[in-house]
């Protein structure tokens, strides 16, 4: 058996005080990748937490510019080791090297790190607010204690706990990160952490700013997110494991930001189908099957109104699902869980149109799957029919009329996204006005005439939404600078002497670039001199 | 027995489908106020929730300007009925009519409603963000479902569930309110709700925008805050009851903003005491005893360094506590709980300097109480010695040296405020630099040379802080417009057609006053025309 991989604690790669071990699988071959990783003990996790708390204090003395340089240097180092990182990510995830990992996900990852660096440098994410009359000033500032990041299985780079969105946001906001690798790509995570550590040393940040463990049992995980010395947690992953962590964090009053599950309703209004049904069928099939459907924003449920156009649309989509190549799934767990979910949807009354069985692709795979159910049946079992089937599967819901479509919208749970397709001539307008306001409040991001799978790293992005999509409808996991504010506390300074204020709140704008709300007006200027 | 007071549901005052009743006490006389109020049944609460959910949808069609007019009209109506409201608030709370209720709290209440109206009108609280390149726009928007407000006992007007800060914030942000009166001043709350209903009718808002119930049992309260049709909850009150509600809301993924308890550490550094110890003793006694100490920001713990100046300070404060009149407490529950807390502090090792017994004032009262404890003892029992003694009592902690003072700061739990007094000549600077960074992250608002009891309604105010002071360190209950964002969700619009966007996100600035972040720059202008 291969030697146990070391953990990264306090700036050192060292043997784990492990409570067990695990070996990841290559999902394309169903064979072990040959590496063995430790399950960390409670003792080890307690040490990681204490070290992070010290780093959290040390980081207070580190200027934002140094954090920015770290993020940029880290991005450069990832690019320099690109081939090795992408190759291991492919072996561990089964995701294609090109275009996905090399041309899409890696550039997105380094781009995100650089955007976070810019946000740290400008500091406008802190929303500095100055009330000259009351003598009170406020801004957001890093938390006390490390930020724990649990990355998901489906983005080994762009949401990796050591290079992804939560990581970049936490560091840019001034927090050290305790990374818990996703168990499906621990080797990729280790490579990234090696580069992070080197970049920390090059830019003079506390070496304990980034620490890495690979796995814990549930009980140790609960201790991790609820520990008094931990600042907050970012979690992206399965609903079940997420809720176990949420309960522990909530009970301790520790913020936890979760991205749990989402089926992303797409409403195809009749006029749109009449106008361009074939085109939409293509868009939908592409969005649903890209990456074997393993996206948080995969269109998992489509609402249609009964009619000829709908039947034509369904026929076209079934054809496309049958013809499209079947992708490799991220692992045996995903394959198993997809089979279970599809079976559960059938048990709840959905009818299989195509697919429904494992296989059809290289390694772990499941045939492209489409199901349909009547609106009446959906309303009778709306909870069971809204369970996420993570992967290349989707459920079509056929409403018998507009009133039923409205009732179905009202029955939707919280989701990351919701999309509406309408005709360009305006024939769908009345129905849009009836359904959109309902859908709007169920989802974080509303799309029109567009499928949900692309998630731009934009300041206006909301990759969040009402429970159970996430744990709080006011925060986004993607989008800089707003994602930084998840890992921050609001700090007010009342009558505090000028030289005791942080640079963001002093009379003089520290960079001339920082946006501040002074007496109700946003400005990049200095405080006006007192008259 | 007097007739049961009606509840306000769906715009109607009507008999409660009650599960019991209660009578509030006049704490100045310990006699019943003569009114009897219902305890609402689960059935009644479920109806209130359903009605609020409908109002929440109806409010989408109401322009921000109408919400602003309602808040302003409501403020005018409160002023018109001022004498009656203040008299009943005095009878129910024991708080002095003048200056407290009539000259301080009522003007603060109406001022806050007017500030909230201005915030609603300007809409800048929604943080509209436009990314022209990506075609994505976002803003904050009201929640789906009503906002439940539980008001505290200590501000019958300014934090009343029908006129206070949470109420104003929830309505200004576009949400209907389900008010749960504080059981100690239900009559005052009823008068305010009468004026709110009249103002709703005058300004054309849905009459169910404000509903009022008086009390529920724990189980019904838990159902209320966790109901699928409820948007969020604002709670200010006791830690025990708050945590019961928090657990239910958290489990359902419903935001709940809590203000639980805070002892507000005040650090008096040696130079400051040498320079102006007598002056500070006066400031401290006033801050601690005003309103019989019944403030969330009451200075409940004072950290001093052993020495002559400290002993002189203590002697001066004891003298002031002995000489000061003893105020009336809000009720028998407060009196009982204060006695229990003072006894518990003594049991944990604190020594009584003055006070310690019930009585000394009119009606419910407790002698002005001061305790002291050594730093070593504090560190040995820091949890027991940090329990809140809500009322006119405070604990002095005497550290033997600077290292021990630092250890004590590290042992502080999360608080709303923390204050440091330093000398003007700069002699305390080194110790300030050692202690302030630690204290800074334990508290929402840091004060210098100022006692914490005044809470200005300022955009830079943070009336919040790390757990257990509140449930999340990123939100404030006081301060407009930031307090509005607690009762809102982030909504992103991706590729949505211009006429389907909300006014805040259209190309043209709807008022010319709205601040928007367009491509990284804050502006009150329109979108630049496409080149």
- The pLDDT score that the predictor gives to residue A1 is 60
Residue A290 within any structural domain of the chain:
yes
B residues 241..260 contacting A (CB < 8 A): 246-247, 250-255
A123-140: string of b/e by CB count within 10 Å (b at 16+)? bbbbbbbbbeebebbbbb
- Helix then strand then coil, % of chain B, to nearest 5: 45, 20, 35
- The pLDDT score that the predictor gives to residue B528 is 78
Closest CA to B28 of B81, B97, B84, B77: B97
Identify whether residues A164 and A210 lie together within a single domain. Answer: yes
- The pLDDT score that the predictor gives to residue B529 is 66
Residue A488 within any structural domain of the chain:
no
Catalytic choice (B259, B275, B309, B504): B259
Whether residue A364 lies in the annotated active site: no
Catalytic choice (B139, B288, B296, B364): B296
Q: What's the CATH number where A362 sits?
A: 3.40.309.10
Q: Chain-centre distance of CA A247, in angstroms?
A: 20
Expressed as residue numbers, the domain containing B59 is 33-124+133-260+477-483
Identify whether residues B85 and B69 lie together within a single domain. Answer: yes
Token pair 């300004």 is at which residue?
A: B203
**B462–A contact, CB cutoff 8 A:** yes
Is B60's CB within 8 Å of A468's CB? no
Chain B positions in Cβ-Cβ contact with residue A144 (cut-off 8 Å): 441-442, 466
For B514, the token pair is 């709205």
Query: Which of A146, A445, A451, A474 to mutate to test binding with chain B, by most B CBs within 10 Å of its CB?
Result: A474
Residue A208 within any structural domain of the chain:
yes
Whether the Cβ atoms of residue B7 and residue B31 lie closer than 8 Å to each other: no
Residue A134 within any structural domain of the chain:
no
Task: Select from A412, A429, A448 the last residue of a domain.
Answer: A448
For residue range A152-177, list pLDDT tens digits in order: 999 999 999 999 999 999 999 999 99
Is A450's CB within 8 Å of B495's CB? yes
Chain B positions in Cβ-Cβ contact with residue A459 (cut-off 8 Å): 129, 131, 138, 517, 520
Closest CA to B445 of A284, A490, A397: A490
Partner residue opposite B131 with nearest CB, options A255, A448, A459 = A459
Is A472's CB within 8 Å of B520's CB? no
Whether residue B259 lies in the annotated active site: yes
B residues 29..68 contacting A (CB < 8 A): 57, 60
Query: What radius of gyration, in Å, describes the C-alpha atoms of chain B?
Result: 24
Identify whether residues B254 and B288 lie together within a single domain. Answer: no
Query: Which of B435, B479, B490 to mutate to test binding with chain A, by most A CBs within 10 Å of its CB?
Result: B490
- The pLDDT score that the predictor gives to residue B93 is 98
* CA–CA dist B480, A517 (Å, integer): 13
Closest CA to A452 of A267, A230, A219, A180: A267
HSE on the CB side for A97, CA within 13 Å? 8
Whether the Cβ atoms of residue A163 and residue A74 lie closer than 8 Å to each other: yes
Residue B13 within any structural domain of the chain:
no
Total of domains in chain B? 2
Q: What's the CATH number where A227 sits?
A: 3.40.605.10
Is B247's CB within 8 Å of A250's CB? yes
* CA–CA dist B201, B529 (Å, integer): 42
Residue B36 three-state SS: strand
As a whole number, the mean pLDDT across chain A is: 97
HSE on the CB side for A36, CA within 13 Å? 9
Closest CA to A371 of A389, A340, A393, A388: A393
Identify whether residues B205 and B298 lie together within a single domain. Answer: no
Chain A positions in Cβ-Cβ contact with residue B498 (cut-off 8 Å): none
Q: What is the mean pLDDT of residues A383-409?
A: 98
- The pLDDT score that the predictor gives to residue A2 is 81
For residue range A320-365, list pLDDT tens digits in order: 999 999 999 999 999 999 999 999 999 999 999 999 999 999 999 9
Strands (E), A364-409: 369-374, 393-399
Is B494's CB within 8 Å of A446's CB? yes
Identify whether residues B241 and B118 lie together within a single domain. Answer: yes
**A440–B contact, CB cutoff 8 A:** yes
Identify whether residues B168 and B185 lie together within a single domain. Answer: yes
Is A475's CB within 8 Å of B490's CB? yes
Identify whether residues B72 and B150 lie together within a single domain. Answer: yes
Nearest CA of chain B to the CA of A229: how many Å? Answer: 11
For residue range A207-226, list pLDDT tens digits in order: 999 999 999 999 999 999 99
| Contacts with A397 (C-beta within 8 Å, 6 or more apart), sequence order | A301, A302, A303, A304, A372, A373, A374, A375, A378, A385, A408
Query: Which of A135, A460, A481, A500 to mutate to test binding with chain B, by most B CBs within 10 Å of its CB?
Result: A460
Task: Select from B427, B448, B469 the last residue of a domain.
Answer: B448
Residue B388 within any structural domain of the chain:
yes
Encode chain B (531 residues) as per-residue pLDDT tens digits.
689 999 999 999 999 999 999 999 999 999 999 999 999 999 999 999 999 999 999 999 999 999 999 999 999 999 999 999 999 999 999 999 999 999 999 999 999 999 999 999 999 999 999 999 999 999 999 999 999 999 999 999 999 999 999 999 999 999 999 999 999 999 999 999 999 999 999 999 999 999 999 999 999 999 999 999 999 999 999 999 999 999 999 999 999 999 998 999 999 999 999 999 999 999 999 999 999 999 999 999 999 999 999 999 999 999 999 999 999 999 999 999 999 999 999 999 999 999 999 999 999 999 999 999 999 999 999 999 999 999 999 999 999 999 999 999 999 999 999 999 999 999 999 999 999 999 999 999 999 999 999 999 999 999 999 999 999 999 999 999 999 999 999 999 999 999 999 999 999 999 999 999 999 999 999 987 664
**pLDDT of A531 higher than 60:** no
Identify whether residues A233 and A277 lie together within a single domain. Answer: no
Is B459's CB within 8 Å of A140's CB? no
For A177, the token pair is 């990160």
Residue A116 within any structural domain of the chain:
yes
Is A129's CB within 8 Å of B460's CB? yes
Query: Which of A473, A509, A514, A516 to mutate to test binding with chain B, by most B CBs within 10 Å of its CB?
Result: A473
Chain A positions in Cβ-Cβ contact with residue B472 (cut-off 8 Å): 255
> How many CB pairs below 8 Å do chains A and B form together?
204
Strands (E), A312-436: 351-354, 369-374, 393-399, 415-421
B residues 379..438 contacting A (CB < 8 A): 414, 417, 432, 436-437
Partner residue opposite A444 with nearest CB, options B444, B485, B492 = B492
Identify whether residues A105 and A254 lie together within a single domain. Answer: yes
* CA–CA dist A149, A167 (Å, integer): 7
* CA–CA dist B250, B80 (Å, integer): 41
Whether the Cβ atoms of residue A192 and residue A163 lie closer than 8 Å to each other: yes
Query: Is residue A50 exposed (0-12), middle (13-18) or buried (19+ Cβ within 10 Å)?
Result: middle
């Amino acid at each position: 058996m291969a030697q146990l991989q070391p953990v990264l604690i306090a700036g050192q790669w060292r043997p784990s005080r492990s409570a067990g071990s695990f070996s990841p699988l290559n999902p394309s071959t169903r064979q072990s990748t040959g590496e063995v990783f430790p399950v960390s003990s409670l003792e080890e996790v307690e040490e990681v937490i204490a070290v992070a708390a010290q780093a959290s204090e040390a980081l207070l003395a580190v200027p934002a510019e140094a954090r920015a340089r770290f993020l940029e240097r880290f991005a450069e180092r990832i690019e320099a080791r690109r081939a090795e990182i992408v190759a291991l990510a492919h072996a561990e995830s089964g995701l294609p090297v090109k275009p996905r990992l090399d041309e899409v996900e890696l550039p997105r990852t380094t781009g995100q790190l650089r955007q976070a660096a810019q946000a740290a440098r400008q500091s406008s994410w802190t929303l500095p607010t100055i009330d000259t009359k009351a003598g009170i000033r406020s801004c957001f500032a890093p938390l006390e204690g490390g930020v724990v990041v649990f990355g998901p299985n489906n983005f080994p780079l762009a949401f990796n706990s050591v290079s992804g969105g939560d990581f970049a946001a936490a560091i840019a906001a001034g927090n050290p990160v305790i990374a818990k690798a996703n168990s499906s790509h621990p080797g990729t995570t280790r490579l990234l952490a090696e580069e992070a550590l080197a970049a920390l040393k090059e830019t003079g940040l506390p070496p304990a700013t980034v620490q890495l463990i690979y796995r814990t049992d549930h009980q140790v995980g609960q201790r991790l997110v609820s520990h008094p010395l931990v600042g907050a947690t970012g979690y992206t992953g399965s609903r079940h494991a997420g809720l176990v962590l949420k309960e522990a964090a909530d009970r301790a009053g520790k913020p936890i930001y979760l991205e749990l599950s989402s089926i992303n309703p797409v409403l195809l209004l009749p006029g749109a189908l009449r106008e361009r049904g074939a085109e939409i069928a293509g868009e939908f099939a592409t969005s649903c099957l890209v990456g074997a459907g393993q996206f948080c924003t995969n269109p998992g449920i489509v609402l249609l109104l009964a009619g000829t156009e709908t039947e034509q649309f369904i026929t076209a989509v079934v054809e496309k699902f049958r013809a499209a190549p079947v992708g490799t799934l991220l692992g045996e767990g995903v394959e198993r869980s997809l089979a279970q979910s599809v079976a559960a949807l059938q048990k709840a009354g959905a009818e299989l149109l195509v697919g429904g069985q494992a296989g059809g692709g290289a390694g772990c795979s499941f045939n492209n799957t489409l199901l349909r159910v009547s609106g009446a049946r959906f309303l009778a079992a709306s909870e069971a029919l809204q369970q996420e089937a993570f992967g290349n599967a989707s459920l079509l819901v056929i409403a018998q009329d507009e009133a039923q479509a409205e009732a179905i919208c009202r029955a939707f749970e919280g989701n990351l996204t919701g999309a509406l397709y309408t005709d360009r001539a305006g024939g769908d307008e009345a129905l849009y006005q009836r359904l959109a306001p309902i859908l709007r409040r169920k989802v974080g991001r509303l799309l029109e005439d567009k499928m949900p799978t692309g998630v731009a790293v934009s300041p206006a992005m909301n990759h969040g939404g009402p429970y159970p999509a996430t744990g709080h409808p006011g925060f986004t996991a993607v989008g800089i600078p707003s994602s930084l504010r998840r890992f921050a506390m609001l700090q007010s300074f009342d009558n505090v002497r000028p030289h005791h204020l942080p640079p963001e709140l002093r009379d003089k704008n520290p960079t001339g670039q920082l946006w501040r709300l002074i007496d109700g007006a946003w400005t990049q200027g200095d405080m006006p001199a007192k008259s």
